Amino acid sequence: MAIFQHRDGEMRLYSGVTTASKATASVYLQVVFVDAGLNAPIKRPEVSETLVMDRGVYTQDAEYRKGLDVEKLEPIPFGWTCTLADDTTTQYLIRWVSGTSPLVINGKTIRSTKGESKISGISTPQFSDTGKMASDAELFWDQAGTDLGFKWREVWFNDVSVTESEEGVMLNVNGLVYGDVTKITAFRAGTTLAA
């Protein structure tokens, strides 16, 4: 019988890209952790189906009808907690999750990823507030021999706080996933923020 326990892992936050003559690659921030207290969906919700009957009577003509697409497009909760270290990466992380777009960290422009993914083959719309910044998050846990990874597109961090205790200072990050959620087998390419 397998025993599930917390695992060492790595999360990366990715910025948006620009295209055409001013094309830029995605910038990412690497966050290595042990037991980060992650709470995230591993798939988007599906549209519910409602049973339609003949005046409330179940007959062979009963059928299911799909609900509204808004159910699969609603933002879904995403968050984690971690103990902060007194280093440059921590400063970058705090600025990233609490910033507005476009944000400049370590000389690199961090742009919002909003509108860069698709749900059901249709591109997601931009925020009406152009200052809101969404980021993509990718995560891998180090499992015995194999890695388990997921990607969350267009995450807006709307609730960021710190909690002080005798053990240290904890960063609490909560947000909403507006884009797609998929399983991945490798981190995507990009330019590290630390360089």
> Do the domain assignments include residue 21?
yes
Instruction: List Cα–Cα distances, 173 to 155, 161, 163, 176, in angstroms.
Output: 11, 7, 11, 10
The structural domain count of the chain equals: 1
Angle at 89 between CA 83 and CA 92, to 5 degrees: 105
What pLDDT, on a 0 to 100 scale, did the predictor assign at position 168? 80
**Percent of the chain at pLDDT exceeding 90:** 52
Rounded CA-CA distance 148/73 in Å is: 25
Rounded CA-CA distance 2/19 in Å is: 46
> Do the domain assignments include residue 59?
no
What pLDDT, on a 0 to 100 scale, did the predictor assign at position 166? 83
CATH number, residue 13: 2.30.110
> Do the domain assignments include residue 84?
yes
> Do the domain assignments include residue 64?
no
Quickly state the pLDDT bin for 1 (edges 50, 70, 90): very low
> Do the domain assignments include residue 171?
yes
Expressed as residue numbers, the domain containing 94 is 8-46+73-192
> Do the domain assignments include residue 109?
yes
Rounded CA-CA distance 172/109 in Å is: 24
Q: What is the mean pLDDT of residues 154-180?
A: 91
CA-only gyration radius of the chain, Å: 20
Rounded CA-CA distance 153/170 in Å is: 25
> Do the domain assignments include residue 89?
yes
> Do the domain assignments include residue 164?
yes
For 29-85, the pLDDT digits (tens) are: 998 776 668 899 999 998 899 999 999 899 999 999 998 888 889 999 999 988 877
Q: Which residues in 96-106 are b (16+ Cβ under 10 Å) and which e?
A: bbebebebebe
For 119-152, the pLDDT digits (tens) are: 988 999 999 988 899 999 999 876 666 668 999 9
